[in-house]
Amino acid sequence: MSASITDAKVPPFVNFVIGAISGVAAQVPTHPMDVLKIRMQVSRNTLRNTVLQTFRTSGVFGFYTGLSAGLLRQLTYTTSRLGIYTTLFDIAEQHFGRLNYATMISLGMVAGVMGSFVGTPTDLVLIRMVADIHLPAEKQRNYKNAIHGIVNVWKTEGFTRLWRGAVPTMGRAAVVNGTQLGTYTRAKMLLEDTAYIKNDIQLQFAAAMMSGIVTCFASIPIDVAKTRIQNLKQFTRSPTVVATIINITKTEGLTSLWRGFLPYYSRAAPNTVITMVCVDQLHKIYLKIFSR
């Protein structure tokens, strides 16, 4: 991102547009992993059984259940988080010079919290659309698409219920974005400084893969708790993320907090690579065209 840009800076509005394009580009090929991850987290199925159940129930298209919600999530959450992070990074860099790792993580956490609050309704609908397969037919929500799901929740549960699980969602986003964006930027700087990799795309790819490993390991316990909370059907007050994590640990074991790690990482790694490479390349294209 900005670490590879010299003097010219991309306008804030363009940062948000680039974030939207990058998020959508990453969501389409990695959505099946999102589906598998969510279904494993709301059940005790193995990855193999989850794949077979999805295929038997809905065929190949079953792996793209909830795609409309996934794309709308990118247009809200990812647009906001990447736009805010890039803008904050540029401002901080202009005032303080080269930033340290802790500052990068902090900026990523701020961007993640703000972006996740905007994107929580779409995240809620995505989880419910994907998790419907585990409910009896008479209890399935059967949202037709993301907009139908949002309207349905608003009408039947109330407007504020669109933000069910907002706190764990923001907590997860703080961890994910702090580690993902901060580690990506820092890793890219380190690789540039050591001159191990000189090619732009290879540099971005290596930094994104390093970022993906750190991000997944640190964030999946919160993601499991968030998924369980947002999939609840009762209208009573939602449990806290800490209470959910403790309950999962007691009833299912500590390792259950990393349930769905393989599809989570299989989705997060290419998603991070595609997103961050797109962000960097679109920044360069914009500067090349408009900074002459």
128, two tokens? 């419910």
Residue-level pLDDT at 195: 65
**CA 276, chain centre distance (Å):** 13
Q: How confident is the model at residue 8 (pLDDT cuts 50, 70, 90)?
A: low
Give residue 290's pLDDT.
Answer: 84
Instruction: Report how far residue 118's alpha carbon sits from residue 184's, in angstroms, rounded to the nearest whole number.
Output: 23
How many beta carbons lie within 10 A of that of residue 8, not counting itself? 12
Which of 70-84, 178-192, 252-266 has the largest mean confidence?
70-84
- pLDDT above 90 covers a percentage of the chain that reads 61
Could you list the residue range(s) of the whole structural domain that residue 19 is in?
2-290
Degrees, nearest 5: CA angle 125-127-132: 95
Task: State the Cα–Cα distance between residues 39 and 47, nearest whole angstrom.
Answer: 9
Output the 3-class SS for the chain. CHHHCCCCCCCHHHHHHHHHHHHHHHHHHHHHHHHHHHHHHCCCCCHHHHHHHHHHHHCHHHHHCCHHHHHHHHHHHHHHHHHHHHHHHHHHHHHHCCCCHHHHHHHHHHHHHHHHHHHHHHHHHHHHHHHHHHCCHHHCCCCCCHHHHHHHHHHHHCHHHHHCCHHHHHHHHHHHHHHHHHHHHHHHHHHHHHCCCCCHHHHHHHHHHHHHHHHHHHHHHHHHHHHHHHCCCCCCCCCCHHHHHHHHHHHHCHHHHHCCHHHHHHHHHHHHHHHHHHHHHHHHHHHHHHCC
Tokens of 286: 């914009």
Mean pLDDT is lowest, of 20-24, 150-154, 229-233, 240-244, for 229-233
Answer yes or no: is pLDDT of 7 > 80. no
176-202: average pLDDT:
85
Q: What is the mean pLDDT of the chain?
A: 89
Torsion sign, CA atoms 281, 285, 291, 292: positive
pLDDT at 253 over 80: yes
The whole-number pLDDT of residue 197 equals 73
Q: What mean pLDDT is predicted for residues 25-40?
A: 94
N-term to C-term CA, the chain: 19
pLDDT given at position 234: 64
Which CATH number is 65's domain given? 1.50.40.10
Residue 34 has pLDDT above 90, yes or no: yes
The residue among 133, 168, 140 whose CA lies nearest residue 52 is 133
Give the chain's domain count. 1
* pLDDT of the residue at 282: 94
State the Cα–Cα distance between residues 82 and 18, nearest whole angstrom: 8
